[in-house]
């Protein structure tokens, strides 16, 4: 089986306008699943080529560090055009950003017969180009949670050492500065809070 091409939103939890795409090596596009900062790792563990789209270079650098094969800064380039040019589109796009612009861009990133999975919940609507969706047999679906099989696969990847957590530790007393850093998009991965000084 070839590598799948997928797009994912690795850092949407920090409010950054992001999307992710993965594509199969030797094929023309991708399939994507799972949300959060670990997406590139899951894509690689699934034999996929992972592409990350964001507006923050630091977030894109972290995506590269954890396994993204391709990154696109949407503030500097049209991600749909870049992914169509480089990958001929994505088999799957997972959008976790709470940004209507990310939803519109994600649809343009899809390969023929590609699937866009919407996880982020921005207010309002986004335009759906009917001819493009129908003539190219694209699928648009909403998703809130994964299945038990998804959980089993995720745990298996972790057990095999294919997925590693990106985190830092801090004290509960620093919660307000941590939230300030989170709002500014300055946190890589997750922060684990210590409730006591005991290890």
pLDDT of residue 97 exceeding 70, the answer is yes
Q: Give burial (CB, 10 Å; 0-12/13-18/19+) of 120.
A: buried
Strand 139-142 with 48-54, pairing: unpaired
pLDDT of residue 95 exceeding 70, the answer is yes
pLDDT of residue 86 exceeding 70, the answer is yes
For the segment 144-196, what is each residue's pLDDT rounded down to a tens digit? 777 788 778 778 878 888 877 778 889 889 999 999 988 887 887 788 888 88
Q: What is the mean pLDDT of residues 45-64?
A: 78
Per the prediction, the chain carries an average pLDDT of 75
Q: What structural domains does the chain harbor?
A: 4-159 (3.40.50.720), 166-199 (no CATH)
pLDDT of residue 2 exceeding 50, the answer is no
The most confident of the ranges 60-64, 125-129, 195-199 is 125-129
Element (H, E) at 158: helix 148-159
Could you give the CA distance from residue 195 to residue 100 in angstroms, rounded to a whole number?
A: 37
How far from 92 is each of 2, 56, 158, 195, CA to CA, in Å? 15, 22, 22, 40
Give the per-residue pLDDT at 38: 62
The most confident of the ranges 4-13, 16-25, 166-175 is 166-175
Under DSSP, the state recorded for 76 is T
pLDDT of residue 28 exceeding 50, the answer is no
Give the per-residue pLDDT at 67: 79
pLDDT of residue 33 exceeding 50, the answer is no
Q: pLDDT grade, residue 7 (50/70/90)?
A: very low
User: Is the CB of residue 43 less than 8 Å from the CB of residue 70?
Assistant: no
């Amino acid at each position: 089986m070839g590598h799948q091409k997928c797009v994912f939103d690795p850092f949407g939890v920090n409010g950054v306008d992001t999307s992710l795409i993965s594509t199969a090596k030797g094929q023309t596009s991708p399939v994507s699943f799972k949300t959060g900062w670990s997406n590139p790792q899951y894509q690689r563990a699934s034999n996929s080529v992972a592409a990350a789209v964001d507006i923050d270079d630091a977030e894109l650098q972290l995506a590269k560090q954890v396994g993204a094969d391709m990154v696109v800064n949407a503030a500097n380039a049209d991600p749909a055009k870049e992914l169509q040019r480089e990958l001929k589109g994505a088999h799957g796009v997972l959008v976790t950003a709470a940004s209507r612009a990310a939803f519109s861009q994600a649809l343009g990133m899809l390969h023929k017969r590609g699937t866009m999975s919407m996880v982020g919940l921005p207010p309002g609507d986004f335009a759906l180009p009917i001819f493009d969706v129908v003539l190219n047999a694209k699928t648009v679906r909403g998703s809130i949670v994964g299945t038990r099989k998804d959980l089993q696969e995720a745990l298996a990847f972790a057990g095999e050492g294919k997925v590693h957590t990106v985190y830092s530790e801090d004290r509960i007393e620093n919660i307000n500065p941590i939230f300030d850093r989170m709002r500014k998009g300055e946190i890589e991965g997750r922060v684990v809070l210590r409730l006591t000084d005991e290890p």
